[in-house]
Structure 1
Amino acid sequence: MDQECLWEYQIICINFANETIRGFNILSNTQRSHRLTLLKHDMALDYILAKQGGLCVALNLTGDDCYTLIPDSTDNITSVIDALKSIREIQTWTI
């Protein structure tokens, strides 16, 4: 494998890392936005339906069916992004 071929692989890997980082950033921001919006809607509906006993009573939901759990995995995604950035910065490829 010659130096030019190695250089091409390095460029491909860096571009792949950049696009993956960009994609994870978009997913992280979108997930955060959707999570907050859903929680706001849940609170608003609970407030509006308070006279009827709240959202769960109005929808006839009990127990676990009543809870909306949307895990916040933005920290996990951020960790992946940071790891990819570290890998991308390694530019000591030699033959």
Structure 2
Amino acid sequence: MWEPIYNLNFIIRLQAVLKIVTNQTVTALDLLADQSTQMRNVILQHRMVLDYLLAEEGGVCGKLSDSNCCLQIDDNGKVVKQVMKEIRQLAHVPVQTWKGMDWDLFSWLPGGPWAKRMLFLFLFLYGVMMLLFIPGMIPCFTLLTRRIINSTQFVMTSVEKKGDVSIMMLKK
């Protein structure tokens, strides 16, 4: 059977592994978001230069004779970075410390600490009284048992025989 401290250590290790994996994943996605934003900027710059150089021929679209020549590259880098920030916050686990076992026997009871103390005091006094009462009662019980046994006399009145079985009749 696993001990509670073993389970706690196992959970802490799992949290650490999850945090490391999450941080590495977030870092990788942040780098990809940065690269995507940089690529978008470079592509737009190249397109502007090409349009400038090919301005006499109608820009890139005129040169290619393409009527459906629209360049639109969405910048989702900021959205990805916001999602990664939220994932980091979600994966963050505050430092936990072991405070030892809480051995409050009366934690299941409703009421304040004073009620629990009163119950403990009552149970303690009851236990002490029983420890004092029982040893004093044992001699009384043995004396009572002896008197009952001594005062009871058995007298055999008759013996009947029925087949192989003998039946004795006792009279008090």
Instruction: Tell me the distance in 1 between the aligned counterparts of 2:85 and 2:64.
Output: 42
Equivalent of 1:81 in 81, 84, 102: 84
Query: With CA pairs under 8 Å and 6+ residues apart, which has the higher RCO, 1 or 2?
Result: 1
Normalised by the length of structure 2, the TM-score is: 0.50
SS of equivalent residue, structure 2 residue 71: coil
Question: Unmatched 5+ residue regions in structure 1?
Answer: none
Which residue of the partner structure matches residue 70 of structure 1?
A: 73
Which residue of the partner structure matches residue 27 of structure 1?
A: 32
Q: Cα distance, 1:88 vs. partner?
A: 2.1
- More strand by proportion, 1 or 2? 2
Equivalent of 1:58 in 36, 44, 63: 63
Question: Unmatched 5+ residue regions in structure 2?
Answer: 1-5, 97-172
Contact 2:29 2:84 survives alignment (8 Å): yes
Q: Give a deviation string over 1:65-94, Cα, whole Å, max 9, x none.
A: 31111111012101111111111223378x
- More helix by proportion, 1 or 2? 1
Kindly report the root-mean-square deviation, in angstroms, between the aligned alpha carbons of the 2 structures.
1.6
Runs of 4+ in 1 over 2 A off after TM superposition: 90-93
Normalised by the length of structure 1, the TM-score is: 0.87
Instruction: Tell me the distance in 1 between the aligned counterparts of 2:11 and 2:19.
Output: 12
Q: Which has the larger radius of gyration?
A: 2
